[in-house]
Amino acid sequence: MLYRRRELDLPNGNLDTPVLFPVRNLGKRSSDNTPTYVGDIPDFSSAIINARSIRNRDPMWNRLTNGVTLREEMDVPEDTIVFADSGGFDFTSGEVDTTPKETLETQRQLNADIYGTVDVPLSRKNRAAENQDRIEQSIQFALEASDHHDGDSLLLASVHGYDPETIRNNIQHLEKYGDFHGYALGSLVPIRTDYEKVTSLVLAARKATEKHLHVYGLGGLVYQPLLLYLGVDSFDSSAFIRAAGNRNYLIPGFGGEELQNIEEMERLPCPCPICGQRTLDDIRQDRTALTQHNLWALATELRRFRYVAESERDIENYLDLRFRGNEVTQRAYKTAKQQIRRLV
Amino acid sequence: MNNSFTISDEQQNYTQYNLQANPFPYSPVPAEDPEIFCGQQHVAEQISSTVSSVLATGKSKHLVVTGKYGNGKSHTLKYTRSLLRDRDDVVVGYVAQPGEGFLDIYHEFMYDLGFNRIQELAYNWLASVARDVTDANPMGAESMRSLIDEGDVLLSDIVPEAIRKLSDITRFADFARAIVHMVYEDTNLYAWQWLTAEGIRYEQRKEMEIHSALDDDTMGVRAFTALKNLLLDLGYTSVFVFVDEFESIARLNSKNEQATLNSIRHLMDQNSSGLCVLFGCAPEVWQDVMSEYHAFSERIGQEVALRPLTSEHLYELVADYLNRERDEPNGEAPIHPFTEESLDMILQRSQGNVRQVLALCSRVLDTAIEDEREVITEEFVQESM
Ligand SMILES: [Zn+2]
- Over residues B335-367, the pLDDT tens digits come to 889 999 999 998 888 877 777 888 889 889 988
Average pLDDT over residues B53-71: 90
CB pair distance less than 8 Å for A172 and B150: yes
pLDDT band at B31 (very low <50, low <70, confident <90, very high): low
pLDDT for res A167:
97
Average pLDDT over residues B62-82: 86
Question: Ligand 1 centroid vs A308 CA: distance in angstroms?
Answer: 21
pLDDT for res A306:
92
pLDDT band at A157 (very low <50, low <70, confident <90, very high): very high
Per CB-CB distance under 8 Å, the chain B contacts of A163 are 184-187
Question: Ligand 1 centroid vs A288 CA: distance in angstroms?
Answer: 12
pLDDT digits (tens, 9 = 90+) for A110-138: 999 999 999 999 988 888 999 999 999 99
pLDDT band at A93 (very low <50, low <70, confident <90, very high): low
Angstrom distance (rounded) from CA A135 to CA A72: 36
Question: Ligand 1 centroid vs A118 CA: distance in angstroms?
Answer: 36
Choose among B150, B155, B160: nearest Cβ to A166: B155
CB pair distance less than 8 Å for A165 and B187: no
CB pair distance less than 8 Å for B149 and A168: yes
Q: What is the mean pLDDT of chain B?
A: 89
Beta strand residue intervals within B12-67, DSSP E: 63-66
Choose among B183, B186, B209: nearest Cβ to A128: B209
DSSP secondary structure code for residue B9 in this structure: S
Nearest CA distance, A328 vs chain B (angstrom): 18
Inter-residue long-range contacts of B343-349, CB under 8 Å, 24+ positions, other chains counted = B343/B311, B343/B314, B343/B315, B343/B318, B344/B311, B344/B378, B345/B378, B345/B381, B345/B382, B346/B314, B346/B381, B347/B309, B347/B311, B347/B314, B349/B381, B349/B385
Question: Ligand 1 centroid vs A286 CA: distance in angstroms?
Answer: 13
Q: Please give the residue of chain A at the shortest CA–CA distance from B144.
A: A169
Between A71 and A265, where is the model more confident? Answer: A71
pLDDT digits (tens, 9 = 90+) for B147-206: 999 999 999 999 999 999 999 999 999 999 999 999 999 999 999 999 999 989 999 999
pLDDT for res B154:
96
The answer to whether the bond into B160 is cis (omega within 30° of 0) is: no
Percent of chain B with pLDDT over 90: 58
The residue among B145, B164, B186 with the most chain A CBs within 10 A of its CB, best to mutate, is B186
Closest CA to B267 of B122, B112, B93: B93
Per CB-CB distance under 8 Å, the chain A contacts of B184 are 163-166
Q: Please give the residue of chain A at the shortest CA–CA distance from B147.
A: A169
pLDDT for res B59:
95
Nearest CA distance, B163 vs chain A (angstrom): 10
pLDDT for res A10:
96
Q: What is the mean pLDDT of chain A?
A: 89
pLDDT for res B356:
82
Between A339 and B36, where is the model more confident? Answer: A339
pLDDT for res B38:
60
pLDDT band at A176 (very low <50, low <70, confident <90, very high): very high
Per CB-CB distance under 8 Å, the chain B contacts of A132 are 155-156, 159-160
CB B91 within 8 A of CB B81: no
CB B253 within 8 A of CB B38: no
The residue among B126, B150, B156 with the most chain A CBs within 10 A of its CB, best to mutate, is B156
Residue B363 burial (C-beta neighbours within 10 Å; 0-12, 13-18, 19+): middle
How high is the ipTM of this complex? Answer: 0.85
Q: Please give the residue of chain A at the shortest CA–CA distance from B164.
A: A129
Angstrom distance (rounded) from CA B2 to CA B27: 9
Q: What is the pTM (predicted TM-score) of this model?
A: 0.84
pLDDT band at B1 (very low <50, low <70, confident <90, very high): very low
Question: Ligand 1 centroid vs A272 CA: distance in angstroms?
Answer: 4
CB B305 within 8 A of CB B260: no
Half-sphere exposure of B38 (CA within 13 A, CB side): 31
Angstrom distance (rounded) from CA B122 to CA B181: 8
pLDDT for res B151:
95
pLDDT for res B3:
46
Question: Ligand 1 centroid vs A221 CA: distance in angstroms?
Answer: 14
CB pair distance less than 8 Å for A176 and B184: no
Nearest CA distance, A160 vs chain B (angstrom): 11
CA B358 to chain centre: 22
**CATH number of the structural domain A1-343:** 3.20.20.105
pLDDT digits (tens, 9 = 90+) for B367-377: 888 888 888 99
What are the domain boundaries of chain A?
Answer: 1-343
pLDDT band at B2 (very low <50, low <70, confident <90, very high): very low
Question: Ligand 1 centroid vs A255 CA: distance in angstroms?
Answer: 13
pLDDT for res B11:
59
Per CB-CB distance under 8 Å, the chain A contacts of B150 are 172, 176
Percent of chain B with pLDDT over 70: 94
Size of interface A-B (CB pairs under 8 A): 60
Q: Residues of A at the B interface (Cβ-Cβ below 8 Å)? A: 127-129, 132-133, 135-136, 139, 163-166, 168-177, 197, 200
Q: Which of the listed ranges A69-78, A227-236, A285-294, B5-14 does the model predict with the highest average pLDDT?
A: A227-236
Q: Residues of B at the A interface (Cβ-Cβ below 8 Å)? A: 148-157, 159-160, 163, 183-187, 209
Angstrom distance (rounded) from CA A25 to CA A198: 25
CB pair distance less than 8 Å for A200 and B186: yes
